[in-house]
Amino acid sequence: MLRRTAIGAVLTAVVVSVTAGVTVLGAAPAGAAVGGSGPYPADYETSAGLPNHTIYRPQTLPAERLPVFVWGNGGCSANGLSQNNFLREIASHGFLAIANGAPNGVGSTTSSMLTQSIDWAVAENSRQGSKYYGKVDTTKIAVGGFSCGGLEAYAVSNDPRVTTTTIFSSGLLNDADDYQLRRLTKPIAYFMGGPGDIAYPNGMDDWGKLPAGLPAFMGNLNVGHGGTYDQANGGEFGRVAVLYLKWRLKGDTTAGSTFVGNTCGLCRTQWQVQQKNLTLDGPTPEPSTSVSPSASPSVPGNPGCSAVYAVQDQWSGGFVANVTVTAGSAAINGWRVSLGLPSGATISSLWNAVAGGTSGAVTVTNQSYNGRLAAGQSATFGFQGSGTGSGGTVSCAAG
């Protein structure tokens, strides 16, 4: 399992370097604060009641109440302008977005600062004389963060006021922290930078450990760890973040169709998409996981489970593939996948499962946390390999 050791050390180094870089860069260009592509041009401000944060809001508050999005910066940076374009874009669509750290602040932040943001928004909504009095929808609150900020988001995701969690290019660094996954009860979405993202193995490992039945979305865009936050209006990450928040915090099912179903708006695009238990509305979960068009169905195996092999990314000399295991009409207590690798292909790293080899015919078994599946429930494991991924085969046996 490529996680928690070398990856954790490198991600920690990235976090430190990002923080240092933000400290040196200083102020954003003049006039950069107002804008966004939404109907409410957005600005940022500070508040004496929340001095170590940056508050992004529509410059003119709309009649509609503002859902809340609290944010942990990359590198756990205390510069609240670190992802300025991205957060301003979100605010311009009618959200109150609050980043850890003052504008051009220095140092680092903690997860408790996200809780402070929520506390402040709730208090301001009920404080007579506040510009936000009665203007904030305190029943719709999302928490999110990039890289180290994603770890901050995980830490407070069990706050009962949180409606949904968003993790951007991040993943838990230590297995001892997996309790944060087990306690998740609200929908979660991951937006990762693809296999070139240093957080990719950790994020995918977290994905495989999510509680059964939890509504979850995973999107990978091959832009690396840095994402698109600095691009105009936050680039592609800004666009999809707005759509996700419109769906989860405003009930916009048109926006939700971007993420749900085999014909979702991000499916079969440059995004690599996976889904768990997602529906636009109604109580019945969707047990399937979307895969890329290169998916290959399993060959016959034990009817207790089935498996689907999908090449998620291919480049000269290497590839990343995922295998989705789905229980049949009855619950299973473990699974075993017979993986036939293409000629010349070898596994260099694997997550969310245990492999009994690296080339040819490989037997892959579940981890302790993802072997027990209810009827129709799925688990996913992935691996990076050398060679060509196309043509791999899988079959599944329960137990």
pLDDT band at 314; cut points 50, 70, 90:
confident
Q: Where are the domains positioned within the chain?
A: 6-276, 296-398
Model confidence pLDDT, tens digit, residues 41-98: 999 999 999 999 999 999 999 999 999 999 999 999 999 999 999 999 999 999 999 9
Helices (H), the chain: 6-25, 84-91, 112-126, 148-156, 179-182, 200-208, 235-250, 253-256
Looking at CATH, the fold of the domain delimited by 6-276 is given as Rossmann fold (3.40.50)
Q: What are phi and psi of 119, to 5 degrees?
A: -55, -45
Helices 112-126 & 148-156 angle (0-180, nearest 10): 60
Residue 231, classed as helix, strand or coil, is coil
pLDDT band at 320; cut points 50, 70, 90:
confident
Measure the CA–CA gap between 70 and 87, rounded to whole angstroms.
10
CB 183 within 8 A of CB 159: no
Query: Residue 23 pLDDT > 60, yes or no?
Result: no
Looking at CATH, the fold of the domain delimited by 296-398 is given as Immunoglobulin-like (2.60.40)
The greatest distance separating any two alpha carbons of the chain, rounded to the nearest whole angstrom, comes to 70
Residue 1, classed as helix, strand or coil, is coil
pLDDT band at 127; cut points 50, 70, 90:
very high
DSSP secondary structure of 56-113: EEESS--SS-EEEEEEEPGGGBSBTTTTHHHHHHHHTTT-EEEEESBTT--SB--THH
Question: Residue 197 has what DSSP assignment?
Answer: S
pLDDT band at 3; cut points 50, 70, 90:
low
Q: What is the mean pLDDT of residues 278-288?
A: 54
Which pLDDT score is estimated for 351?
Answer: 74
Dihedral angle over CA of 309, 315, 318, 322, nearest 10: -20
Query: Residue 162 pLDDT > 50, yes or no?
Result: yes
Query: Residue 287 pLDDT > 50, yes or no?
Result: no
